[in-house]
Amino acid sequence: MLLKILLTLSLFSQNVLAIVALDPIGLHVPAILRGFLMGTQAAVNSLQNNVDNGNYTFNIKKNYQLIVPGYEIKPQFIWKGENIYDWSAGDWLIGNSSNTTGWIQQNGLLLRGHNLLWARDQSIPKWLIQQEASITPNKAKSLLSDYIHAVVSRYRGKIAWWDVVNEAIDDKNNTNPYNLRDNFWFRKLGVDFMKYAFIFAHEADPNTQLYYNDYAIEAVGAKSAHLLELVQWLRSQQVPINAIGMQWHIDVAKNVTPGDAHYQSAQNIIDAGLNFTVTELDISIPMKDGQPIRPEDIEKQGVIYRSILHYALHFYPRCPAMLTWGFTDRYSWIPDFWNHTRGEALPLDKNYQPKPAYWQMQEELARVLSDGTYRLSPQSLPNKCLGTSTQSTSTVQLYDECNQPNQKWNVTWLGDGTYRLSPLSANDRVLAAYNLTAPVGEVLTSEWSGDASQEWVLTMKDTNQYRFGPRGAWERVLGLYATNNIGIVDDTHSVNQQWILVNAN
């Protein structure tokens, strides 16, 4: 039985039930049910060593469908010399072109490729910088072609999204076209290095989505203006660029509200014909002596995380995913980079415990219905409704009349990503699902005990239309079978498996 800490004055009253859940359903489940991708940066070494007694891997699999390696498939990690590559980390993670499988496929996850060209000298393989004087423009183009073709071809069909060029636009104004940053590739090939990188990646895998990725472009401003000019030029050159990666390395001073400069920047990208993804989100907090200077910033951080997820969902499907740059403060880059004046930037703390940011994001994804009393009617039989039998309080059935207390349900958000459904006639009982692996699982009402069998994952399908999945088998669904019988069945997206909810307060 799933234990919970129940904080309520009267467990079975009509008031809102306040619950602190010990076991959140996670971000993974509601994101999948919404068709949205939640992702995180992950370190291959931590995955290989199954660090922290498996907590690292467990939390990735519980909360994310998509990961991006932090370093292990970047040029400075792979590219050791001309035609010399270190494939060890990449092959372990994703397999290679000979159709071997890696950790990603074995664990049912997806991968973003990051990155093929990082336009900073300090992030370019040292051997290239050391040999710069002897490398001609033609040779540089040949080297770039060889490298991108080698990497993308090796993982062809296994990486659906590649950051082709990373951080090429300078923060300060300069005289270069589109304010491009001075770096080895620009010095050798001028602005055409951008064009070549995308063309080579497309040649190596025509089916992968190609991204330009950068920071400080999330709001309308000088840098985002340079980005739009660069995109316009690339499109004029018939360059196969598909999307923009917005990094979103921010702090708790940021506010994001519908219609503001952040929404406008995203809309500008869409208007330019591209999609975008939130690729590297973290929200740092001012720190002193290892503690937040303002304790209330932890709550504020949660609100901002939720506001950015709301923003990403607003633009879905033009924004198909949101990734955080790591997920636990235990392995964040922020403290060292900021000399420990900022930190605690991620949704889980150093002990993998959910912070307000985590709960806020889970609620944004999973809370699709306000608490209240509702009639539940199958979409296929809208004049009928679900109720409990007057002969047996555990039996559920369909009724033609829908005005009695046993034909109405109190629907209550539990705070862990799920809902509780209680008949109005017996609020100490709840809808529960059993025998979930059987071809048809059983649906009854039982006395509320906080067991996982009594929790339901809801997904909005259309206005007032919802999908109900049992927590223990969320990929299956509450539906009708054999005409009017109620059970847990495989999800076929049938009208027999969607429920119209009408407020019955």
For 123, which DSSP code? G
Residue 475 structural domain: 372-503
Q: What is d(CA 264, CA 502) in angstroms, rounded to the nearest whole number? A: 36
The answer to the question of residue 90 being in a domain is no
Using CB atoms within 10 Å of the CB of residue 310, give its burial: 0 to 12 exposed, 13 to 18 middle, 19+ buried: middle
| Torsion, Cα of 210, 215, 218, 224 (10° steps) | -80
The residue type of 325 is W
The pLDDT tens digits for 35-55 are 999 999 999 999 999 999 999
The answer to the question of residue 436 being in a domain is yes
Residue showing tokens 């971000």: 27
Structure tokens at 89: 């980390």
The answer to the question of residue 462 being in a domain is yes
Contact (CB, 8 A) for 297 and 252? yes
For position 1, what pLDDT does the model report?
36
Q: What is d(CA 319, CA 244) in angstroms, rounded to the nearest whole number? A: 10
The answer to the question of residue 185 being in a domain is no
Q: What is d(CA 77, CA 475) in angstroms, rounded to the nearest whole number? A: 39
Using CB atoms within 10 Å of the CB of residue 324, give its burial: 0 to 12 exposed, 13 to 18 middle, 19+ buried: buried
Whole-prediction pTM:
0.93
Give the sign of the dihedral formed by CA 298, CA 301, CA 302, CA 303. Answer: positive
Which neighbouring-strand residues pair with 167?
none
**What's the number of domains the chain is made of?**
1
For position 392, what pLDDT does the model report?
74
The CB density around residue 249, as the number of other CB atoms within 10 Å, is 17
- Residue 211: closest CA among 261, 177, 247, 174: 247
Q: What is d(CA 94, CA 108) in angstroms, rounded to the nearest whole number? A: 11
The answer to the question of residue 429 being in a domain is yes
The answer to the question of residue 2 being in a domain is no
One-character DSSP codes across 3-20: --EE--SSTTSSSPPPEE
The answer to the question of residue 467 being in a domain is yes
E-strand stretches of 154-251: 161-166, 209-214, 243-246, 249-251
Give average pLDDT by consecutive 10-residue segment, the chain, 505 residues: 33 34 85 97 97 98 97 97 97 88 96 98 98 98 98 96 98 97 98 98 98 98 98 97 98 97 98 98 97 97 98 98 98 97 98 97 97 97 94 88 94 97 95 96 96 96 96 97 94 96 93
For position 370, what pLDDT does the model report?
96
Helix axes 137-154, 192-204, angle to 10 degrees: 30
CATH for 376:
2.80.10.50
For position 22, what pLDDT does the model report?
54
Task: Report the SS3 class of residue 492.
Answer: coil
The pLDDT tens digits for 323-337 are 999 999 999 999 999
| Torsion, Cα of 460, 462, 498, 108 (10° steps) | -50
Q: What is d(CA 142, CA 347) in angstroms, rounded to the nearest whole number? A: 43
The answer to the question of residue 306 being in a domain is no
The residue type of 487 is G
Q: What is d(CA 321, CA 435) in angstroms, rounded to the nearest whole number? A: 34
